[in-house]
């Protein structure tokens, strides 16, 4: 029986934060609504709060590159999420920061998370697009590496799953060069929801670990 009690760390950059969404919630409120309607109990965790929703904790830090996301993850993994929604690499791509080794950094970040919270399942996003052609091109290349990275983690015994955001978010769904419109954020929520449903079907969501909240 898949666990319906979810403690979720939304982990990433400004897209996880919800930048340019009209209510500041980004995909998180729409995802909460989808999950709740499907019978799940949801608590988001994170060191920052964003949006007008009440359950608005997240670890989406605007401007964060993969190495920053790795540091930021540690800020709330102590809250023992049983699900991590990881979207990292957009800023590496837009700034051209060591693009060829970005997949390696993403793999190392996944390893750090599985080491810190072995109870957790990680959904790894293939990035949503950019309107800048050169950035879009490197995003597609980066995204193409992610399934093999994820497969290697699964082969090592970890619960890691890929979610392809470009299947849900198109260039028409962007408000600027990279951040979604409100509709685009709704699409991200649908993508995450589909991924969560799939790992629940696999029986990959573990029961919550008790934590001491101070």
pLDDT reported for residue 93? 99
User: By percentage, how much of the chain surpasses pLDDT 90?
Assistant: 96
The confidence band for 210, taking pLDDT boundaries of 50, 70 and 90, is confident
Is the sign of the CA dihedral 4, 206, 121, 85 positive or negative?
positive
Average pLDDT value for residue range 95-121: 98
Please tell me the distance from the alpha carbon of residue 169 to that of residue 184, in angstroms, as a whole number: 6
pLDDT in tens, 44-53: 999 999 999 9
Contact present, 126 and 163 (Cβ < 8 Å)? yes
User: By percentage, how much of the chain surpasses pLDDT 70?
Assistant: 98
| Beta-sheet strands, E only, within the chain | 5-12, 41-44, 48-49, 57-60, 83-86, 121-126, 160-164
CA distances from 187 to 49, 169, 193 (A): 21, 6, 10
Could you give the 3-state DSSP secondary structure of residue 113? helix
Burial class (CB in 10 A: 0-12, 13-18, 19+), 140: middle
Global pTM value? 0.97
Is the predicted pLDDT of residue 214 greater than 50, yes or no? no
Q: What class does CATH assign to 5-201?
A: alpha beta
Contact present, 46 and 9 (Cβ < 8 Å)? yes
Please tell me the distance from the alpha carbon of residue 129 to that of residue 60, in angstroms, as a whole number: 18
Sequence-separated (6 or more) residues with CB below 8 Å from residue 56: 25, 28, 44, 49, 50
Give the chain's mean pLDDT.
Answer: 97
Q: Where are the domains of the chain?
A: 5-201
Could you give the 3-state DSSP secondary structure of residue 120? coil
Per mean pLDDT, which range of 22-26, 81-85, 148-152, 206-210 is the poorest?
206-210
Could you give the 3-state DSSP secondary structure of residue 10? strand
Average pLDDT value for residue range 166-193: 99
Please tell me the distance from the alpha carbon of residue 36 to that of residue 17, in angstroms, as a whole number: 20
């Amino acid at each position: 029986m898949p666990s319906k009690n979810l403690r979720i760390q939304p982990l990433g950059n400004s897209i996880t934060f919800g930048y340019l969404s009209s209510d500041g919630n980004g995909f998180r409120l729409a995802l909460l609504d989808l999950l709740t309607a499907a019978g799940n109990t949801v608590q988001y965790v994170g060191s920052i709060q964003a949006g007008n929703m009440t359950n608005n904790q997240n670890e989406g830090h605007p401007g964060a590159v993969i190495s920053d996301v790795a540091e930021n993850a540690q800020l709330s993994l102590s809250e023992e999420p049983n699900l991590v929604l990881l979207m990292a690499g957009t800023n590496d791509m837009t700034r051209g920061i060591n693009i060829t080794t970005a997949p390696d950094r993403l793999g190392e970040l996944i390893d750090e998370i599985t080491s810190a919270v072995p109870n957790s399942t990680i959904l790894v996003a293939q990035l949503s697009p950019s309107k800048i052609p050169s950035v879009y091109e490197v995003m597609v290349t980066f995204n193409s590496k992610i399934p093999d990275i994820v497969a290697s983690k699964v082969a090592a015994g970890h619960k890691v799953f890929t979610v392809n955001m470009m299947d849900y978010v198109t260039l028409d769904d962007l408000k600027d060069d990279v951040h979604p419109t409100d509709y685009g954020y709704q699409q991200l929520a649908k993508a995450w929801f589909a991924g969560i449903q799939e790992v629940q079907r696999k029986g990959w969501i573990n029961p919550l670990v008790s934590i001491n909240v101070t």
